[in-house]
Amino acid sequence: AKQNGRNCFAFFNLNLREQAQARMNLLKNIRRGIEKQQFDLYYQPIVDLDSGTIHKAEALIRWLHPRQGIISPAQFIPLAEESRYINPLGQFVFTRALQTLNILREKIDPNFQLSINVSPVQFSCLDSGIDQWPALLEAANLPPSAIVAEITEGLMITPEHLTQQRLKSLVRSGMELALDDFGTGYSSLAYLQQMDADYLKIDKCFVDNIHANNQELALCKAIITMAHQFGLKVIAEGIETTEQRHLLMELGCDYGQGYLFSKPLPEPEFIALLNNSKTN
Ligand code: C2E
Ligand code: CA
Ligand code: CA
Ligand code: CA
C-alpha cells in the first residue's frame, strides 16, 4: 500500500508540476495580453420581458488572443483574481464600459444602462481603483446610475469592514447594484435590502430546469415574489427557450437575459442589434 502511495504521490507530483507550469504560462500571457490590449467587452442585452425592449446590457470580458482566438472569462478570471491582475482588468472593464455607454446614450437611448461584473478582489485590494469610479463617471459626463455593479453573494455578506465600506460608498454615489447568481449561495433577501441593492439575478441553473408545475418553477416564483416585496427588480439569466420566457413572465419576472434574445456581441454588432430592434 505504501508503495502504491509513493507511486501515486510521484505521479501526482509530476502532474502538479505540469499544472504549475501551465499556470505560470497563463499568468505570463495574461500580463502580456494586458500590455498588448488583447481584452475587449462583449455586450448581452437585458430584455424587458413585458415590452420586449432593451434598455440595459451586461458587459462580459473576452480575451481576443492572436493565436488562440476568443478565450472565455471562465478560463482566466480565477487566475486573474488570484494574481490580482483582475485589478487592471477591472479598470479596463470600467473605462471601456463608459466609452460604450457614451456612444449608446448619444446615438440610441439617453438612458441606456450597462452592468459590469466586479470581483470581490477589487473590493479587498485598496489599489484596485474602484473608489475613483464615481469621479470617472462624472468626468465622462455620465450619471452614476448608468452603471450597475454585479456582485456575488459572498461579497454581499462578507464581514470584512473595508469591503462593506467601499461597497456602501459606491452605492451611496448612486451606482446601482445587482446580486449575481442568486440562489447558489447563502445570502438572504434581508441583506440585499440592507445593502440597498436594485436587482437580483436568478442563476441560469434554476432557469435551465424550469418547467410548468415543477420545483424550480415554485422556487423562482417564491424568489420573485419576495424580491418584489423587498423592492428589487428581478433579472433571469440564461433564458434559451420561449417556454422559459413565458413561464418567467407569468411569475412576474421583470427582465430576461439569454441566448433566446442574443448571445453576447462585440460592440458594433450590439449597436446594430439595438438599431434593428428600434426600427422593428
Ligand atoms: P455571469 O456573470 O453569471 O455571466 C453570465 C454568463 O452566462 C456569461 O458567460 C454569458 O455569456 C452566459 N450566458 C448568458 N446567456 C446564456 C444562455 O442563454 N445560455 C448559456 N449557456 N449561457 C448564457 P461568460 O461571458 O462566459 O462569463 C462567465 C463568467 O465570467 C461570468 O458569469 C462572470 O462571473 C465572469 N465574468 C465575465 N466578465 C467578467 C468581468 O468583466 N469581470 C469579472 N470579474 N468577471 C467576469
Ligand atoms: Ca454577471
Ligand atoms: Ca450566472
Ligand atoms: Ca440602489
| ipTM confidence score | 0.98
Establish whether residue 134 lines the binding site of ligand 1, counting it when its CB lies within 6 angstroms of any ligand atom.
no
Q: Whose CA is nearest to atom 7 of ligand 1?
A: 238
- pLDDT of residue 4 exceeding 80, the answer is no
- The chain-wide mean pLDDT, for the chain, equals 91
Establish whether residue 128 lines the binding site of ligand 1, counting it when its CB lies within 6 angstroms of any ligand atom.
no
Establish whether residue 181 lines the binding site of ligand 1, counting it when its CB lies within 6 angstroms of any ligand atom.
yes
Query: What is the average pLDDT across 9-15?
Result: 60
Question: How far is residue 44 from each of residues 61, 116, 139, measured CA to CA in Å?
Answer: 11, 11, 26
Question: CA–CA separation, 79 vs 121, rounded Å?
Answer: 12
For residue 179, which ligand has an atom nearest its CA?
2
Ligand 1 pocket test: pick from 117, 118, 152 the residue with the most ligand atoms within 8 Å of its Cβ. Answer: 117
Confidence at residue 56, expressed as pLDDT on a 0 to 100 scale = 98
**Whose grid coordinates read 439569454?**
258
pLDDT digits (tens, 9 = 90+) for 196-211: 899 999 999 999 999 8
Confidence at residue 280, expressed as pLDDT on a 0 to 100 scale = 63
Question: CA–CA separation, 241 vs 250, rounded Å?
Answer: 15
Q: Whose CA is nearest to atom 23 of ligand 1?
A: 238
Question: CA–CA separation, 198 vs 179, rounded Å?
Answer: 8
Lowest mean pLDDT among 19-28, 166-175, 245-254: 19-28
Question: End-to-end CA distance of the chain, in Å?
Answer: 71
Residue 8 — pLDDT band, cuts 50, 70, 90? Answer: very low
Confidence at residue 111, expressed as pLDDT on a 0 to 100 scale = 97
Q: What are phi and psi of 278, to 5 degrees?
A: -75, -40
pLDDT digits (tens, 9 = 90+) for 129-188: 999 999 999 999 999 999 999 998 777 777 788 999 999 999 999 999 999 988 766 666
Confidence at residue 186, expressed as pLDDT on a 0 to 100 scale = 62
Ligand 1 pocket test: pick from 40, 47, 60 the residue with the most ligand atoms within 8 Å of its Cβ. Answer: 60
Query: What is the average pLDDT across 11-25?
Result: 80
**Whose grid coordinates read 462580459?**
60
Confidence at residue 13, expressed as pLDDT on a 0 to 100 scale = 65
Establish whether residue 120 lines the binding site of ligand 1, counting it when its CB lies within 6 angstroms of any ligand atom.
no
pTM strictly above 0.80 = yes
